[in-house]
Chain A
Amino acid sequence: MDYEAVIGLEVHLHLNTKTKAFCGCSTEFGREPNSCVCPVCLGFPGSLPVLNKLALDYAIKVALALNCRVQEYTKFDRKNYFYPDLPKNYQISQYDLPLSRDGFLDIYLEGRNKRIGIRRVHMEEDAGKLIHKEEVSLVDFNRSGIPLLEIVSEPHINSAEEAYEYLTALKSIIEYLDVSDCDMEKGSLRCDANISVRKKGAAELGIKTELKNMNSFKAVKEALAFEIERQSELLDAGEDVVQETRLWDAKELKTLPMRTKEEAKDYRYFPEPDLAPFIIKPEKIEEIRKAIPELPRQKMQRFIKDYGLSEYDARILVSSRKDADWAEEAIRTYPDKNKKPIVNWIIGPLASLTGPNTTFSELKLPGGKEEFIKLVKATEEGKISHLMAKNVLSESINSGIPSLEIIQNRNLFQVSDLESLKGVVEDVLKENPESVNDYKSGKANALMFLVGQAMKKSKGKANPKTLQEILKRRLTDA
């Protein structure tokens, strides 16, 4: 049977304000447990929350960047449940009048755009963190009260790959806005998924499960793929999917049941009486809207228009704001009108030299960006072979010596004049009579082998095109 998955994602995002959502405590990550706490975020009796205005501004910024309607009238609600990491045993959240609604996020997959609806973006506070030891469980309240955004998508996502793209696009926008570090390992971005499958083309939704405990975008993708498979198999076997919450086990690579709907909690939401409802003035919304920087999508379109980039290239360059800024400066400075070479160099050789969790803009180039641009230009002009330039770039980064200096010192300029290459060609022909015969008997591949041998002999300095020409002529002449 052919099935279609219906997926909605709930993303929780730490806002990177200096202080917490409802008190003045620091939000710094990695501090000694329970050192960033006060009566408010510890939920001590008598303490009262006061909204961090900057967190609200950040939240509005995200809502606008996700094309949401920011509500003029909004309020906080209490979500009641008992858990030891929740000091008040309720969480200040937003229920029926969220900060914003009805936005969308465009994703790009397999050559086409898809618009994913955003149901709501609302503010809430984070809980503390439980640390389980052998005998006891401990609570660290440093995280308690850190401002969180909950971003809920519509169930418009139909595959694990789309979910991955959605998260990537979302993360990219958030990074552009600079309101969160989006680090899943630190817990500053968390994602839960609701997923059901149905017969392709069916109007009715299937029974859904909620997936939790995914610690990376990759885990989200894997968990969804697993769950689509699992649910499809159940339906194929004529069984029902049980409505339940399931946990992703990253070691076993499968989802496991956590609690069923019957055990689902009644959160008894009601308006938070300690915080009066508030009005967000249209002027305020406009002020924040104006401060939103150019977002990845607009930047991509501008790159295509201004620099003649392909959509593919532009998309890669804008995925992070830092990279995009770095690349744009390089593209602008690059002296030729045709920007393709510098773009190819950034996306190709330069990007391939990055380690895990770093991007090209973070690479330490000994000669700086200008040096890199000169290297690309020199390659374009045929002064250095492409391969040589690539090796030099890598060596330069490892050794800290600027690449042009390496080329100069070791005279690695490309050799293109016929006279200097003739000797090399003659040697190669002498040493590889079999290949010569192969070529002559019609095996065209043999030519490339001979070029390769000649390149080796020239220590990479020879211009491969020139070599090919000489070789071809010599082989047909003889």
Chain B
Amino acid sequence: MELYKLTAHQLLEKLETKETSSEEIVSAVDKRIKEVDSKVKAYVRVDKTNERTQEREGRGTGLLKGIPVSIKDNICTDGYNTECCSKILQGFKPPYDATVIRKLKETGASILPLKTNMDEFAFGSSTENSFFGPTHNPWNLECVPGGSSGGSAAAVAADEAILALGSDTGGSIRQPASFCGVVGLKPTYGRVSRYGLIAFASSLDQIGPIAKDVKDSALLMNVISGYDPMDSTSVDTEVPDYTQSLGMDIKGLRLAIPREYFIEGLDPEVKGILEEAINKLKTLGAEYKEVTLPHTEYAVPVYYIIATAEASSNLARFDGVQYGLRVDKTGSLIDMYKNTREEGFGEEAKRRIILGTFALSHGYYDAYYLRALKVRTLIKQDFDSVFKEFDCIVTPTSPTPAFRIGEKIADPLKMYLSDIYTISANLAGIPAMSIPCGFTKKGLPAGLQILAKPFNEEMLFRVSYAFEQSTQWHKMKPKI
């Protein structure tokens, strides 16, 4: 079998027995990219200069020695372009590595770097908002891969990547993982350092793994998790070995099925797939019960106030003064600000900056931002009360399978509703995972979302691994 088709844990075994080498793996992936990326367009930059051979080969001795990891374009890589797929960051080479990149390098992973496509500044659910153009879903090239980490998810699904990092602010790892039939995890807020992740909404953003199966996801989590003194919002609690949760049975686990996630708007086919998946969990010994998360309907509006408010401030620094694009036509400072931002930001970025600026404006703050913060607390409390009685919550990841490129791009509200099931986890700060759980008749994957208490990623691994091992969905490969 071609090396690029393997998972990280399979490759690590082959490396261990010297059946292969990190060079072979890297060139296999490189070959695969050459074969299919002209169709998938998962990557925006593949470094071919090979200047930093130690990074290609992996110099560390740790868990992921020799395994290439693809990186979403909003995670800083020292000396290599990190542009958030935005014109405004054209040519920006950060002089430092994100903490997750440093950890990956230390553990011996190969950071070439392979930079994956995304919605500009992670604003979107389809990867259509990229300055570099859309990524195509490997299962149907006319469909979107989801977003904003669409490039990472598509690369993993198309075997153009062994492992990938994404970021998730409202579903940006889980929704594309669901659309592309791969495993995506958004860790608890504070579990993984955000240092070096170019911020979209600081109180919601988390970096997480996108992988071919649950075990690979656990391996990558083992490397990237943990307190970072450079990130004051990372939490100083012990990081367990997540692979230890794999293989534990789920007999007697109490699963909650929230009523609000199975209502109008959920695609009937996806609903059917989900019901089957839940039955599967039941046959594995889990118990389930319907519950209510009463404030679910407010999650999307609350999210679009908080996330855009933070984004409007986070993106203020892109002004043409220090780095990235500068459009200076008149020599006036104000004109330079205006022209740089006018030309540098795409339509969705502008929309969100304006929304967020409005929400924070004098006279509107209390009605929008402050109220949104209060409802956010209520949403958190919904989860708290469910987790008093249940071990985890299972829901669909997305109400629909992948939609067609262009289908929703003209209707932002429709697009925003694509994240209706994923947003709450970010607002509550809890960990959530999407795993493949079936296919529609047209051959598009659907995802099962599992949510757990803060810092209980182990529960996600335990349940998802049990499910995965009793199904074949993760072994399906798209024909490209």
Contact = CB atoms under 8 A, between A and B. Distances in A.
Contacts of B43: none
Contact of A45 (B92, B201, B360, B365): B92
A268 B361 contact: yes
Contacts of B369: 270
A109 to B, nearest CB: 38
21 contacts: A39-B95, A43-B322, A44-B96, A45-B318, A46-B75, A46-B98, A47-B196, A50-B231, A51-B232, A80-B313, A88-B317, A89-B317, A89-B319, A90-B316, A139-B321, A266-B362, A268-B312, A270-B309, A270-B310, A270-B360, A275-B233
B230 interface: yes
Interface string A159-199: 00000000000000000000000000000000000000000
B203 to A, nearest CB: 4
Interface string A73-111: 000001010101001111000000000000000000000
Interface of B: 75-76, 82, 84, 89, 92, 94-96, 98, 194-199, 201-203, 229-233, 309-310, 312-313, 316-319, 321-323, 333, 337, 357, 360-362, 365, 369
Contacts of A131: none
Interface string A129-147: 0000000010100000000
A48 B92 CA distance: 18
Contacts of A201: none
A45 B89 contact: yes
Nearest to B316: A89
Nearest to B318: A45
Contacts of B76: 45-46
* Residue from B75, B195, B357 having most chain A Cβ neighbours under 10 A: B195
Contacts of A236: none
Nearest to A139: B321
Contacts of B313: 78, 80, 90, 268, 270
A80 B313 CA distance: 7
Interface string A222-264: 0000000000000000000000000000000000000000000
Contact of B365 (A49, A87, A270): A270
A42 B292 CA distance: 46
A273 interface: yes
A82 B353 CA distance: 14
Contacts, number: 100
A1 interface: no
A279 interface: no
Nearest to A45: B198
B337 A82 contact: yes
A72 interface: no
Contacts of A275: 232-233
B319 A44 contact: no
A78 B233 CA distance: 16
Contacts of B195: 46-48
Interface string A9-44: 000000000000000000000000000000100111
Nearest to B75: A46
A325 to B, nearest CB: 39
Interface string A252-295: 00000000000000101110011110000000000000000000
Contact of B316 (A42, A46, A49, A82): A82
Given A46-B195, A90-B316, A268 B357 contact: yes
Contacts of B321: 84, 87, 139
A80 B197 contact: no
Nearest to B83: A45
Contacts of B365: 268-270
Given A87-B322, A89-B317, A268-B360, A46 B309 contact: no
A84 B316 CA distance: 11
B197 A273 contact: no
Contacts of B230: 48, 50
Contact of A268 (B94, B317, B362): B362
A266 B82 CA distance: 32
A96 to B, nearest CB: 10
A269 B357 CA distance: 11
Nearest to B323: A44
A50 B316 CA distance: 20
A51 to B, nearest CB: 7
B173 to A, nearest CB: 18
Given A48-B195, A268-B313, 13 more contacts: A42-B322, A45-B76, A45-B317, A46-B98, A46-B197, A48-B233, A50-B232, A78-B313, A268-B357, A273-B202, A273-B203, A273-B310, A275-B232
Nearest to A49: B232
Given A89-B316, A268-B357, A274-B202, A39 B96 contact: yes
Contacts of B89: 45
B94 A84 contact: no
Given A82-B319, A90-B316, A268-B357, A48 B96 contact: no
A221 to B, nearest CB: 34
* Residue from B76, B313, B365 having most chain A Cβ neighbours under 10 A: B313
Nearest to B202: A273
Contacts of A88: 316-317
Contact of B94 (A45, A87, A137, A273): A45
Contacts of B360: 80, 268-270
Nearest to B357: A268
Given A275-B232, A276-B233, A44 B94 contact: yes
Nearest to A275: B232
Contacts of B198: 45-46
Contacts of A45: 76, 82, 84, 89, 92, 94, 198-199, 317-318
Contacts of B82: 45-46
Nearest to A81: B316
A220 to B, nearest CB: 29
Contacts of B316: 80, 82, 88-90
A89 B333 CA distance: 14
Contacts of A39: 94-96
A64 to B, nearest CB: 25
9 residue pairs, one from A and one from B, having the closest CB atoms: A89-B316, A273-B202, A268-B360, A273-B203, A45-B198, A46-B196, A46-B76, A266-B362, A88-B317
A269 B362 CA distance: 9
Nearest to B228: A48
A64 B141 CA distance: 66
A312 to B, nearest CB: 50
A80 B353 CA distance: 13
A46 B317 CA distance: 11
Given A39-B96, A90-B313, A46 B199 contact: yes
* Residue from B76, B201, B321, B361 having most chain A Cβ neighbours under 10 A: B321
A369 B96 CA distance: 55
Given A46-B98, A80-B360, A87 B233 contact: no
Contacts of A266: 361-362
